[in-house]
Amino acid sequence: MLDGIRIIDLTMHLAGPYCTWLLGHLGADVIKVERPGGDPARKTGPIIEGESVYFASVNRNKRSIVLDLKADADRAIFTELVKSADALVENYRPGVMDRLGFGEARLAQLNPRLVFASISGFGQTGPLRDRPAFDVIAQAMGGLMSITGPEGGPPVRSGMSIGDIASSLFAANGITAALLARERNGAAPRVDVSMLDCQLALLENAVARHLNAGDEPRPIGTRHPSITPFQAFSASDGDLVVAVDGDASFGRFCEALGMPALKDDPRFSELAIRHQNHGELEPILAAQFMAGTRDDWLARLTGADVACGPLNTIKDSVAQAQVSARDMISQPLRDDGPAMKFAASPLGARGSVPERPAPALGQHASEVLAELRLHDV
């Protein structure tokens, strides 16, 4: 999809590298420019045979070159690299690129067609632009933590780095859109992605309810804020989730549970009333689910065309036949054989097209310099 597109990757840790991994998987030539010593994520555990699992996961499909952008010789190399590229992605604090001598104006001068993309905690503008931020900061300040966790409980961080990953996804989308816009009108739009902005965008329902209905969203466990039943329940031997999205579905749900009278109970017969009375319905359903096994309930509900599924562990999730059928586990091939296993990208070719493993530090310096017609240094 992005064959022939060259992307300079100046990113570190997670938010930036995840973005450029996605672009590399789609076919872009991603050149990861690392400072001497490399991306700090190379030292993040767990370490297997000298390699960071964290780094290896989000730096697949890239080439690595080491450049010190404070050294004149390396700055000259980087200048030529910029001239050859279609996009540059960085996740420094705002102002760092300017201090390095490669701010927006300088990059545009070197390569007017270059798409310049930045991922930062708070964006390139606004009173907080200079503050550092990591995933947990974005989750907290964006409001996500305030609505995550058990009802009545303390704020809880999401179990995955959604602050970082969301900004990666928006950045990848913005970069591909900017590349398309460049081809249409010759201009290379600036891509400015803020982790805080992305959290607000992900919280669309909660934000919209607050701004328009005056709601103050709070943690409600696994329940849905406006649909009932739409949550997790415990069976006698495990947990499952159900998503009953309307009155017709609720009727089928009640039949499958062997409780047909519930669908005509005036407390539960309509969605709005049912949701209002979730506190009365939930213990009735909880007791019924505990009377049977998880697999039996899943079979009954699936047979009634009610959306449901097991509450899996990560171990359970990756072992699913559906995951295998979709080739969602990737095992990049190294020269000495298969490398580690990772989640695959849900976009583009997979399975039949093995990914390339994350590069060793500076592994591709000679070939990149040769492509730039520069001598190895």
Average pLDDT, integer, range 184-205? 95
SS3 212: helix
Question: Could you tell me the pLDDT band of residue 339, with boundaries at 50, 70 and 90?
Answer: confident
Mean pLDDT of the chain: 94
Average pLDDT, integer, range 11-15? 96
Eight-class DSSP state of 356: P
Question: Could you report the per-residue pLDDT of 146-179, keeping only the tens digit for each?
Answer: 999 999 999 999 999 999 999 999 999 999 999 9
Question: Could you report the per-residue pLDDT of 48-72, keeping only the tens digit for each?
Answer: 988 999 999 999 999 999 999 999 9
At the top level of CATH, the class of 6-202+326-371 is alpha beta
Instruction: Flag whether pLDDT at 335 surpasses 80.
Output: no
pLDDT of 309: 98
pLDDT of 351: 64
Average pLDDT, integer, range 26-34? 96
Question: Could you report the per-residue pLDDT of 249-296, keeping only the tens digit for each?
Answer: 999 999 999 999 999 999 999 999 999 999 999 999 999 999 999 999
Q: Could you give phi then psi for residue 140, rounded to 5 degrees?
A: -70, -50
Active site residue 164: yes
Instruction: Flag whether pLDDT at 221 surpasses 80.
Output: yes
Lowest mean pLDDT among 220-234, 315-329, 336-350: 336-350
How would DSSP label each residue in 262-285?
GGG-TTTSSHHHHHHTHHHHHHHH
Contact present, 129 and 143 (Cβ < 8 Å): no
Instruction: Flag whether pLDDT at 90 surpasses 90.
Output: yes
Question: Could you report the per-residue pLDDT of 126-153, keeping only the tens digit for each?
Answer: 999 999 999 999 999 999 999 999 999 9
Catalytic residue among 9, 29, 74, 164: 164
Eight-class DSSP state of 147: G
pLDDT of 337: 63
Average pLDDT, integer, range 90-94? 96
Strands 51-52 and 47-48 turn out to be antiparallel
In the chain, ranges of CATH 3.30.1540.10 domains: 230-311
Rounded Cα distance between 377 and 74, Å, is: 9
Contact present, 117 and 193 (Cβ < 8 Å): yes
Model pTM score: 0.94
pLDDT of 300: 98
The CATH superfamily holding the domain 230-311 is: formyl-coa transferase, domain 3 (3.30.1540.10)
Contact present, 194 and 137 (Cβ < 8 Å): no
In the chain, ranges of CATH 3.40.50.10540 domains: 6-202+326-371
